[in-house]
Amino acid sequence: MDLEDALREISALGFKYVELNCHEHLGSKIRDDIPVSRTKKLLDEFDLVPAALMGDSDFAVSDSKLDAMLASVGKQISYCGALGAPILRVFASHIRAQYVDGNMFDRTILNLRRIMPVAEENGVRLAFENHFGITATVDDVARIVEGVACPWLGFNYDPANFVPVGVDPIEAGRQLAPYIIHCHLQDAVYVGSTSYSGYAYLEAGAGIVDYPRVIELLSDIDFQGFLSLEYESIFDPVRGTRQGLANLRHLMAA
C-alpha cells in the first residue's frame, strides 16, 4: 500500500498511533527533503499520531560507505524529530552471523556513538532491534547498548525475532528489561522452509510466542512505551493487523 492507503486502513481499524516506515513509505520524502508538513497533513487527515519511525541503518558498514550511511540516518533522525515522533527504530547492522567478530562489534559501537549527538539535538531516542546477526542474543544486545552507554540509545524488543535463533523471548526480555524503550509485537511459527531458520512471521498471538507472559513481563517492569503491532506478510495485511489488534486487546484484558 502507499502511505495514504495505509493510513486510511490503520485509522479505520481504530488505531490512534502509528509507526511509519522510513524505507517503504517515507524514503523518497526524506531523501529528497520534501517538507514534513505534507506527512503531518496526511496524519491529521486520518487523526493519527506518530509514535515512532522504522528507520534503516547499518553501523558496521565499510569506511567507503560510512559517511553516506551516517548522513542517511541523520536525515531519518531529523525527519523523526520534525514529525514529533519520539523513537527511531534502527538496525545495529545487517551483517550475517558468520561474519560477526569483535571488530564488528567495536565498529558498530563506535559508529553508533557518532550519531548520538544528532539524536540528542533532535530529541529522538534510537531503539536498535534484536534482528539476527550482530544482535541475535541477549549478550549481543547488552554488549552494544552498554558499549555505546548513551541515554539516547535503547532497545527495541521484538520477542518473535528471538525465536529463529533459539533464544527464549521471555528470558531475553527479562534480562534486557533495563534497556527496553520500544516494542515490536509479531509472532512466529515453524514451517521448515523460510529464510528465518525455518520460521515464518504472522500476527501477534497467532504463533508460538507466549504473549500472555510477554505482556506480564512488560507490566512487571512498568514499561511505559508503545506496543507496536507488526505484520510482515504481504497477504491480506488488513486482516492480519485487525486480528493482531484483537489478539492484543484480549491479552491486555486478561
Q: For 240-250, write each residue's pLDDT tens digit.
A: 999 999 999 99
Domain count, the chain: 2
Is 151 within a domain?
Answer: yes
Cβ atoms within 10 A of the Cβ of 28, count?
A: 8
CA-closest candidate to residue 81, choices 30, 28, 157, 151: 30
CA dihedral sign, ordered 144, 145, 150, 153: positive
pLDDT score for 29: 87
DSSP string, 4-41: HHHHHHHHHTT-SEEEEETTTTSHHHHHTT--HHHHHH
Residues 87 and 17 both lie in one domain:
yes
Residues 245 and 131 both lie in one domain:
no
Residues 121 and 227 both lie in one domain:
no
Residues 25 and 118 both lie in one domain:
yes
pLDDT score for 234: 74
Is 205 within a domain?
Answer: yes
Where do runs of H (alpha helix) occur along 60-210? 63-83, 102-122, 138-148, 159-162, 169-175
Report residues of the chain scoring pLDDT below 70: none
pLDDT score for 233: 81
Contact between 75 and 56 under an 8 Å Cβ cutoff? The reply is no
Is 165 within a domain?
Answer: no
Query: Maximum distance among all alpha carbons in the chain?
Result: 52
Residues 21 and 144 both lie in one domain:
yes
CATH number at residue 140: 3.20.20.150
Residues 35 and 131 both lie in one domain:
yes
Nearest-angstrom CA–CA distance, 201 and 181 = 23
Structural domain containing residue 91: 3-157
Q: How far is CA 73 from the centre of its chain?
A: 14
Residues 148 and 194 both lie in one domain:
no
Q: How far is CA 13 from the centre of its chain?
A: 21
Is 164 within a domain?
Answer: no
Residues 249 and 136 both lie in one domain:
no
Strand partners, 187: 202
Residues 23 and 122 both lie in one domain:
yes
Tens of pLDDT, residue by residue over 169-180, are 999 999 999 999
Is 180 within a domain?
Answer: no
Is 168 within a domain?
Answer: no
Residues 16 and 123 both lie in one domain:
yes
Residues 18 and 139 both lie in one domain:
yes
